[in-house]
Amino acid sequence: MSDDDVLSGTEPTAVLIINPWESLCGRCGVPVLLSATHHTDESGVGPPEGCGARFTETGTEYANITIERLRQLRPDLPVVGGGVV
């Protein structure tokens, strides 16, 4: 969490970016587990902390991943815009 987030008292949010081989935090770009609700750790790496953002929607960097597929993978989150971020 950044100093600005702490000072403002707001919870940081991010898009969960779902790509063919990995998922990324849209706030900091670091890999994260597809099932994560918050970016609290770094997927595939030991205990380093994530940026703390809560995932509020999904998107992808690949046009061949459809909105329907994003909804199947994370039905609990809405899809950002047309799906591609």
- Per the structure, the complete domain to which residue 58 belongs is given by 3-65
Mean pLDDT of 22-37: 93
* 48 within 8 A of 73, measured Cβ to Cβ: no
Residue 79 in any domain: the answer is no
* pLDDT value for 61: 96
Q: At residue 4, does pLDDT exceed 60? A: no
Residue 61 in any domain: the answer is yes
Look at the chain and report how many structural domains it folds into. 1
Q: At residue 1, does pLDDT exceed 80? A: no
Q: At residue 80, does pLDDT exceed 70? A: yes
Residue 34 in any domain: the answer is yes
Q: How confident is the model at residue 49 (pLDDT cuts 50, 70, 90)?
A: confident
Residue 80 in any domain: the answer is no
pTM of the predicted model over 0.75? yes
